């Protein structure tokens, strides 16, 4: 069974975690693709990337089943943010082979990201962490990964290009656990939004989501 987790967060929100074991053809047979989705897939040449893309759509399709609606596919806006066709619910998707994740909220914008803790994060940390966040990590790759995936999730929540990970998205210091909620915020101009950032570790990957 490819779905390793399909969980209700609250009365308005669900998220799905999918292990990608199917071939491209098997995933194709599971999913409804919009015309935009078909064109997007045609531009991807790498078979693993194709499987990731299809599996993330399978996650969304399963979430739509949970709310009793019909899934008609996904389209993207000018900021590359995904939207459901003919439904006003909010979604976000992510993938890191061999896994894909998605989140749905009936009322609020959402963001989700999945990443694997890897040594290369230490080499690029200065690009996305401010000095306080960097000091909090103390070189812990798993903690760096929470910061990275968390900022990606918040970026997706905002849904517009132009946010600077280092300057505009800030995550408060935290004690690393298997699952927790972290205080965070992002700023656009003079406006600041406070965010409760959820994170968890599953199958040696870090998943962060927020709404």
CB 71 within 8 A of CB 60: yes
Residues 143, 195, single domain; the answer is: yes
pTM attached to this predicted model: 0.95
Shared domain for 40 and 99, answered yes or no, is yes
The per-residue pLDDT for 34 is 86
- Residues 91 and 140 placed together within one structural domain of the fold: no
- 3-state SS, 148-191, equals HHHHHHHHHHHCCCCCCCCCCEEECCCCCCCEEEEEEEEEECCE
Rounded mean pLDDT for each run of 10 residues along the chain, 211 residues in total = 85 97 95 88 95 96 95 93 96 98 98 97 93 95 98 95 92 98 94 96 97 97
Are residue 137 and residue 70 in the same domain, yes or no?
Answer: no
Query: 14 and 95 share a domain?
Result: yes
Q: In the prediction, which pLDDT does 161 show?
A: 83
Structure-block tokens of residue 79: 């900021």
Residues 101 and 127 in one domain: no
Residues 165 and 96 in one domain: no
Could you give the CA distance from residue 124 to residue 194 in angstroms, rounded to a whole number? 26
CA–CA dist 168, 118 (Å, integer):
24
Considering its fold, how many domains does the chain have in total? 2
Q: Alpha helices of the chain — where are they, by DSSP H?
A: 24-30, 35-42, 47-66, 120-128, 131-137, 141-158
- Tokens found for residue 127: 């690009």
Residue 11 belongs to domain spanning: 3-108
């Amino acid at each position: 069974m490819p779905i390793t987790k399909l969980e209700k967060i609250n009365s308005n929100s669900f998220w799905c975690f999918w292990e990608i074991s199917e071939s491209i053809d098997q995933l194709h047979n599971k999913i409804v693709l919009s015309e935009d989705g078909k064109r997007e897939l045609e531009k991807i040449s790498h078979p693993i990337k194709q499987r990731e893309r299809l599996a993330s759509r399978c996650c969304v399709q399963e979430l739509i089943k949970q709310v009793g609606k019909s899934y008609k596919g996904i389209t993207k806006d000018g900021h590359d943010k995904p939207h459901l066709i003919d439904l006003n619910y909010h979604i976000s998707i992510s993938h890191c082979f061999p896994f894909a994740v998605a989140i749905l909220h009936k009322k609020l914008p959402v963001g989700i990201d999945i990443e694997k803790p890897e040594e290369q994060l230490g080499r690029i940390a200065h690009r996305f962490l401010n000095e306080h966040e960097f000091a909090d990590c103390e070189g812990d790759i798993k903690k760096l990964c929470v910061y990275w995936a968390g900022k990606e999730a918040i970026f997706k929540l905002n849904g517009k290009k132009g946010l600077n990970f280092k300057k505009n998205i800030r995550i408060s210091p935290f004690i690393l656990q298997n699952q927790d909620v972290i205080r965070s915020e992002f700023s656009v101009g003079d406006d600041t939004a406070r965010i409760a950032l959820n994170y968890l570790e599953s199958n040696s990957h870090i998943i962060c989501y927020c709404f």
